[in-house]
Structure 1
Amino acid sequence: MKRKINLLPIIVFALILVILNWYVTNGLLILFPDTIFQTVFSAMLLLIAVSFVVAILRIPSFGMDVFFKIATHSFIIIFVAEIVAALILFIGDITRIILAFLGNHSSVGYLPTRIVTFSIIAFIAFIIVILIFIDGIVRGKYAYRVIKKTLFFDDLPAAFDGFTITQISDVHSGSFDNKKAVQKGIDLINAQKSDLFVFTGDLVNNKADEIIPWIALFKQIKADYGKFSILGNHDYGDYIKWNSEVEKRENLQNLKKHHQEIGFRLLLDEHIDIEKEQQKIILAGVENWGVGFGERGDLNKALTGTNKADFKILLSHDPSHFDAQIKIHPSKINLTLSGHTHGMQFGIEVFGIKWSPVKYRYKHWAGLKEEFGRYLYINRGFGFLGFSGRIGIWPEITVIELKRK
């Protein structure tokens, strides 16, 4: 049966795009009083907009191929650049309206001409935004950062004082396109020489075979106390169409085998003991549990056989699990490691400023959080998805050191 398409949102969006394009073009005409500029500028944006709409309409059959990426990425870049330019031009227009009211002009409806300075700033901002996005696509998506945190606990077994854990999340191997760059990330992981390595879900975008070209690289990861992993929402293949449920289940089974080939011990609603000097901590892992992204994981099952007094670390892909169940669970979970958000791969984290559009979906979307004496750490992701780049929110390798108070 053919999928019905609701054209109203597309028409409304197209109308907004036309108005936005008209406003920016007219605002910049003062700098380029030539009809050629207006024609070229409008034609370029129209072409990008049309290719974007066509790509969206063809997603079910066309998939995430080169055409789709070029169309969507070009549109996103220009659209964001236009919005920034439009905001600056709008400030300029408000300024000239205020000047018109304050001035003594006898003619009705008098409005001063646009202030050239605002048009110049808008054009410069337009170009800067485009360059920033290009940098995010070319360099940013593989600009790995190591973020180190030291956490103190009253109940940490003495033998684990100084124990280190390296975490990565959201590999999304189906998006990778540069083995040399990914190898640098793997080398950076090994350079941390952590005791334990954990991966907190989304090894692929949709299909298990996406990881096959990268198995040899991730197999290089080393940790004396083992390498452990869990599944993320994308690993179940929920976001593409399958010929049958059997094919979908086989895909998941193949993905589990690939975890094993890499050397990851996949934790599926279960736990293991990490032992050192006749003392232990609990490492548990649940299947994906996230508000709006499938509530598959069974936390109680994962903790079956553990004691309330045990020091516990939990791997759970989606951080919404922490607020919904983990922080109020009767058996204290000392540290939860998550991912999922990617920091939306776009935002600002400088000079104490921390902002990303993803904050409107997740109140806490990256880094460390503590509630009721329980910690949550959200990794910003090792890979990328959808937008093939990162701007301001860089791919992350987390190193956590456990210390006794």
Structure 2
Amino acid sequence: MFLPILVVVVLLDIYVFKAINSLPLGQNQAIWFTVYWATVILTLLGISAFFRNVRIGKSQMKPSTNLLFGLAFSLIIAKLFYSMFLLGEDVFRLMMYSAELIFRDGHVTFSSRSSYLSWVGIGFSAIPFLGMSYGVLAGKYRYTTRTEKLKFKHLPKAFDGFKIVQFSDAHLGSFDSLKGLRKGLSAILEAKPDVILFTGDMVNNVSTEAQPYIEEFKVLKAKYGQFSILGNHDYGDYVRWPSPENKATNLANLKRIQSEMGFEMLHNRHVMLEKDGEKICIAGVENWGKPPFPQLGDLKAALNGVSSEMFTVLMSHDPSHWDLQVKQHPKKVDITLSGHTHGMQFGIDLPFFKWSPVKWKYPKWAGLYEDAGKYLYVNRGFGFIGFPGRAGVWPEITVIELGRV
């Protein structure tokens, strides 16, 4: 994987450098070239550091590695944006050259690049670079609390005003700041939850990533409990284990760690929350997603014994599950809480306009969705993975406030 990416990055750098080399830089040429090749070296160092961690199976990222790779990734994206300008102009130049060859007699020359467009492209590419660099330095710990007030006719009166606080996709192996983590945990408590629900992906790959944070997570307390499920990353499927027994031990350790943190895990089962003699159901399934993701969730088992009239909240890590199984299930699930997408940690997330590349794979990628009185909420994620930052799509704590119509 490292070599193909390295080849692509080198070819991209050569293409971009040829464009910069054609600009009228005058006396500043040496400065421009020095800065450019410094970005090339930084990019190569960042990619190498990241893949070295992956190769040796290191489960916890260092702050220096996250910073180096984050800036390298930001530079790659900026150069890709710039190359889009260059490629568009190159295609136009090629078309004009071809037309002149066909329709014009005499000597035909291939037109040079427009300096104006090249400068515009540089300015345009600075926008994603600055945005993603901010995401690496600060955006990944810019926690946002989002509140949705949902009303139902059949909600028990005792649960009117009941607060469900959800967070998802912690990916603790990526964290590089204890202060940043504590900021997020404090935001969960500040929401004054009646119940706390974690919807999967506590780690990137292995249970040891979560071990250092047991005491930190013990601060999470809610009157009606803390419940969790597993996400696709929690099963250890992305690691080469010496034996199936080692993999099973890793999963058992993660379950133990989450229990020590204070979570009750719901593996294809449910619990009843009782308040003033009335009840609602909180159910949880193991990961169920489109292939190649595991389909271990058993909705039938999770809802076994739950009456059709019972108000039910389901935790299911992958939002694909809602469209493909949950909505069609004979037992109506009033609210499904998911995560998984992270909003790709990159995009535009405004009240009046939302966009992220992840929407091409997951049409329901962030926020609230409704169909025939059934709701899905997709949490944007608490942590980060891969790109060590967030740009435009900030880490989220979700508050679902229940009400009666």
TM class, shorter-chain normalised? 0.7 to 0.9
Distance in 2, matches of 1:55 and 1:316, equals: 34
Cα displacement (A) at 1:88: 3.6
Is 277-286 or 51-60 further displaced after alignment? 51-60
Take 2:28 and 2:5, find their aligned partners in 1: how far apart are those partners? 31
> What SS does structure 1 have at the residue aligned with 2:327?
helix
Cα distance in 1 for residues equivalent to 2:332 and 2:139: 38
Q: Contact 1:24–1:85 at 8 Å: present in 2 too? A: no
1:123 aligns with 2:105: no
How far the C-alpha of 1:380 sits from its partner, in A, is: 0.4
Q: What is the Cα deviation at residue 164 of structure 1?
A: 1.0
Change beyond 3 A, Cα 1:83–1:224 = same
Aligned partners of 2:67 and 2:136 also within 8 Å: no
Map 1:2-401 → 2, pairs under 5 A? 13=8, 16-17=11-12, 20-26=15-21, 29-31=23-25, 36=30, 40=34, 43-44=37-38, 47=41, 61-63=55-57, 72-89=69-86, 109=108, 114-292=113-291, 293-350=293-350, 352-401=352-401
- 8 Å contact 2:158–2:276 — kept in the other structure? yes
Which amino acid is the alignment partner of residue 295 of structure 1?
Answer: Q
Deviation at 1:125, TM superposition (A): 3.0
CA distance in 2, matches of 1:95, 1:132: 30
DSSP-derived class of the 2:16 partner: helix
1:256, 1:266 within 8 Å by CA — same for their partners in 2?
Answer: yes
| Residues 269 and 303 in structure 2, CA contact (< 8 A), matched pair in contact too | yes
Cα distance per residue 1:259-300 (max 9 Å; x no partner): 111111111110011111111111000111111210011110
1:57-102 CA distances to partner (integer Å, 9 max, x unpaired)?
A: 767633456697567544422221112223344566688899999x
Q: Are the equivalent residues in 2 in contact too, given 1:160–1:276 (CA < 8 A)?
A: yes
Compared with structure 1, are the counterparts of its residues 75 and 191 closer, same or farther at alpha carbon in structure 2 (3 Å cutoff)? closer
The one-letter amino acid of 1:220's match is V
Kindly state the Cα deviation for residue 377 of structure 1 after the two structures are TM-superposed.
Answer: 0.2
Partners of 1:62 and 1:38 in 2: CA distance: 36
Give the letter for the 1:346 counterpart.
Answer: F
Q: CA deviation at 1:47?
A: 4.0
Going from structure 1 to structure 2, the CA distance change for 1:214 and 1:327 (only over 3 Å counts) comes to same
Shift of 1:163: 1.0
Maintained 8 Å contact 1:24/1:82:
no
> Taking every aligned residue pair, what percent have the same amino acid on both sides?
43
Task: Give the secondary-structure state (helix, strand or coil) at the position aligned to 1:385.
Answer: coil
Q: How far apart, in 1, do the equivalents of 2:247 and 2:380 lie?
A: 28
Q: Aligned pair in 2 of structure 1 residues 108, 152: CA closer, same or farther (>3 Å)?
A: farther
**Does structure 1 conserve the Cα–Cα contact (< 8 Å) formed by 2:70 and 2:389?**
no
Q: Find the aligned partners of 1:192 and 1:6 in 2 and give their Cα distance.
A: 43
- Measured in 1, the distance between the counterparts of 2:196 and 2:52 equals 40
Name the SS of the counterpart of 1:375 in structure 2.
strand
Alpha-carbon distance in structure 2 between the residues aligned to 1:250 and 1:94: 56
What one-letter code is carried by the residue in structure 2 that aligns with 1:384? F
Quick one: structure 1 residues 165 and 35, their matched pair in 2 at CA, closer, same or farther if it must change by over 3 Å?
same
Kept after mapping to 2: 8 A contact 1:23/1:86: no
- Contact 1:31/1:120 (CA < 8 Å) preserved in 2? no
The alpha-carbon distance between structure 1 residues 99 and 197, as it changes in their structure 2 partners (threshold 3 A), is same
Amino acid across the alignment from 1:402: L
Give the CA deviation at 1:35: 5.9
Contact 2:381–2:396 (CA under 8 A) maintained in structure 1: yes
The 2-side partners of 1:368 and 1:210 are apart by: 31
SS in 2 for 1:325: helix
The verdict on how the C-alpha distance between 1:16 and 1:237 changes in structure 2, with shifts beyond 3 A counting, is: same
Please report how far the alpha carbon of residue 122 of structure 1 lies from its aligned counterpart in structure 2 after TM superposition: 2.3
Q: CA deviation at 1:386?
A: 1.0
1:269/1:299 contact within 8 Å kept: yes
Change (3 A) 1:289 1:97: closer
Q: RMSD across aligned C-alpha pairs, in angstroms?
A: 3.1
1:180 deviates by 1.2
- Report how far residue 318 of structure 1 moved: 0.7
- More displaced stretch, 120-129 vs 139-148: 120-129
Inter-partner Cα distance in structure 2 for 1:154 and 1:188: 30
Structure 2 contact 229–315 (Cα < 8 Å) conserved: yes
Distance 1:32 1:383, change over 3 A: farther
- 8 A contact 1:21–1:42 mirrored in 2: no
CA contact (8 A) 2:194 2:224 kept: yes
Amino acid at match of 2:400: I
Distance 1:120 1:108 in 2: 30
SS in 2 for 1:328: coil
Do 1:203 and 1:235's aligned partners in 2 also have CA atoms closer than 8 Å?
yes
Q: Distance in 2 between matches of 1:233 and 1:96?
A: 47
> Which stretch shows the higher mean deviation, 32-41 or 328-337?
32-41
| Residue identity matched to 2:363 | K
Distance in structure 1 (CA, Å) of the matches to 2:96 and 2:5: 38
- Name the SS of the counterpart of 1:184 in structure 2: helix
